[in-house]
Amino acid sequence: MLVLGIETTCDETAAAVIERQPDGSGKILSNIVHSQIEDHAPYGGVVPEIAARAHIDLLDGIIRRAMTEAGIGFADLSGVAAAAGPGLIGGVIVGLTTAKAIAMVHATPLVAVNHLEAHALTPRLTAPLPFPYCLFLASGGHTQIVAVLGVGDYVRLGTTVDDAMGEAFDKVAKMLGLPYPGGPQVERAAALGDPKRFAFPRPMLGRPDANFSLSGLKTAVRNEASRLGPLRPRDISDLCAGFQAAVLEATADRLRVGLLLFRERFGAPSALVAAGGVASNQAIRGALQAVAAKAQTTLMIPPPALCTDNGAMIAWAGAERLALGLTDTMEAPPRARWLLDANTTAPAGYGKTRAAY
Ligand code: KG4
Ligand code: ZN
């Protein structure tokens, strides 16, 4: 099975071709990702209108490169998959409409993929991984603990009640004068700092649910930074180290509870899987390793290029759905919001309008 996947929900314009064997194994034939970071960096974050226009300009060329690199023609495709949400609606419309046009012209099935489902299924592309497993997804738009029970069968065990984790990293970086995207900058500065100099709060620690809260911690960093006045490099490193230490401890605690809830409801998971840009943070990886060991499960993190947004994950989710006969019609809507688990509601305290919940 050969599937083309298209990703345009945020600031990556991406297309990929993957091959899926009848035994369920997968292979990436091409995976082209164009990051628009430079277009958005002057604004300190993603500007939706700029992103949508860039997707229009870039997508055709990116798809052409993905097809050429895979060495196939449109007639060879078993299907075309696009991320139909959740995300910035302008970009989603560009990707989904392009996929519909390809599907119609080449008479090949369309799969409208949930971007979160694609993150959830990606680890099965690179290694055999049976259901059920526990997913920790932490990126600029999402922070969730999800029980992955099967294709299309997800139960959200925890989520953030305010900021996403990557968003918190980005905002802390911005307030300390570090460039966008802030996650890697904060990680770098934290490695040089003293995590004990500032006593930042550990949000939600010990709570019986598996939800996250990051905005109070972010505010605590802001207050400390303004109390210090003009910041010396040493202050910046110590603030980053203190912030990251608090995130690590909170993450470990929330995942400990998430894995307990998982076990109570679904038995032992085959693995703890981490995905999203934040999962590329080495310190967080270390914390997850310890959590997995304590919960007597193994930690699996896809390679960094598959953790962050890309087309291969969309193509793979499309292939997993196609293999089960799940396809979509030309009426499939683009969605700014699209819960992975239709049965969950937003957690108490939820008060923001991000697409990811
Ligand atoms: O998954 P991703 O590439 O895109 C989406 O947001 O969907 O994640 C990007 C996010 C940004 O907020 C970025 O600051 C964060 O992941 N990030 C990190 C690190 N690398 C990227 N956060 C903490 N430490 C990192 N090393
Ligand atoms: Zn993503």
Confidence of residue 356 (pLDDT cuts 50, 70, 90): very low
**pLDDT: is 195 or 11 the higher one?**
195
Q: Which ligand is nearest to the CA of 179?
A: 1
**pLDDT: is 345 or 171 the higher one?**
171
Q: Token pair for residue 151?
A: 């294709």
Q: Give yes or no for residue 270 having a pLDDT over 90.
A: yes
Is residue 50 one of the residues assigned to a domain?
yes
Instruction: Give the CATH number, domain containing residue 45.
Output: 3.30.420.40
Is residue 27 one of the residues assigned to a domain?
yes
9 and 94 share one domain:
yes
CA–centroid distance, 323 to ligand 1, in Å, is: 31
pLDDT at 347: 55
**CA–CA distance, 158 with 7 (Å, rounded to integer):** 25
Q: Is 166 in the pocket of ligand 1 (CB under 6 A)?
A: yes
Q: Is 309 in the pocket of ligand 1 (CB under 6 A)?
A: yes
Q: Which helix (H) or strand (E) holds 91?
A: helix 89-105
164 and 283 share one domain:
yes
Q: Is 243 in the pocket of ligand 1 (CB under 6 A)?
A: no
DSSP calls for 114-157: EHHHHHHHTHHHHS--PSPEEEEEESSS-EEEEEEEETTEEEEE
Mean pLDDT over the full length of the chain: 94
Confidence of residue 354 (pLDDT cuts 50, 70, 90): very low
149 and 168 share one domain:
yes
**CA–CA distance, 323 with 241 (Å, rounded to integer):** 46
Q: Is 302 in the pocket of ligand 1 (CB under 6 A)?
A: no
Please identify, by atom number, the ligand 1 atom nearest to the C-alpha of residue 166: 12
pTM beyond 0.85, yes or no: yes
Q: Is 7 in the pocket of ligand 1 (CB under 6 A)?
A: no
**Residue keyed to tokens 């990929």:** 16
pLDDT at 292: 97
233 and 323 share one domain:
no
255 and 319 share one domain:
no
Confidence of residue 351 (pLDDT cuts 50, 70, 90): very low
Is residue 237 one of the residues assigned to a domain?
yes
Phi, psi of 29 (to 5 degrees): -90, -30
Structural domains in the chain (count): 2
- Stretch 142-154: mean pLDDT, rounded? 96
Is residue 341 one of the residues assigned to a domain?
yes
* 38: Cβ contacts below 8 Å, ≥ 6 apart: none
8 and 25 share one domain:
yes
Strand-pair category, 299-300 with 143-150: unpaired
Cα separations (Å) of 236 from 54, 163, 174, 181, 202?
Answer: 34, 21, 11, 16, 19
pLDDT at 46: 87
- Stretch 259-281: mean pLDDT, rounded? 95
- By residue count, the chain amounts to 357
Report the percentage of the chain scoring pLDDT > 90: 87
pLDDT at 357: 36
* Of 275, 255, 36, 14, residue with least CA distance to 141: 275
pLDDT at 187: 98
Q: Is 9 in the pocket of ligand 1 (CB under 6 A)?
A: no
Task: Give the Cα-Cα-Cα angle 339, 165, 158 (nearest 5 degrees).
Answer: 45
Which range among 37-51, 111-125, 332-346 shows the weakest confidence by mean pLDDT?
Answer: 332-346
Residues 93-107: pLDDT tens digits? 999 999 999 999 999
CA–centroid distance, 165 to ligand 2, in Å, is: 12
Q: Is 308 in the pocket of ligand 1 (CB under 6 A)?
A: yes
Residues 288-321: pLDDT tens digits? 999 999 999 999 999 989 988 999 999 999 999 9
**CA–CA distance, 89 with 63 (Å, rounded to integer):** 20
Is residue 321 one of the residues assigned to a domain?
yes
Q: Give yes or no for residue 350 having a pLDDT over 70.
A: no
Q: Give yes or no for residue 346 having a pLDDT over 70.
A: no
113 and 144 share one domain:
no
Is residue 338 one of the residues assigned to a domain?
yes
Q: Give yes or no for residue 276 having a pLDDT over 70.
A: yes
246 and 321 share one domain:
no
Is residue 45 one of the residues assigned to a domain?
yes
Q: Give yes or no for residue 345 having a pLDDT over 50.
A: yes
pLDDT at 355: 35
CA–centroid distance, 20 to ligand 2, in Å, is: 22
Phi, psi of 278 (to 5 degrees): -65, -25
259 and 193 share one domain:
yes
Q: Give yes or no for residue 16 having a pLDDT over 50.
A: yes
Q: Give yes or no for residue 252 having a pLDDT over 90.
A: yes
Q: Are 332 and 109 in contact (CB under 8 A)?
A: no
14 and 99 share one domain:
yes
CA–centroid distance, 194 to ligand 2, in Å, is: 31
- Domain span at residue 297? 131-301
118 and 159 share one domain:
no
Is residue 208 one of the residues assigned to a domain?
yes
Q: Are 5 and 95 in contact (CB under 8 A)?
A: no
Q: Which ligand is nearest to the CA of 168?
A: 1
184 and 279 share one domain:
yes
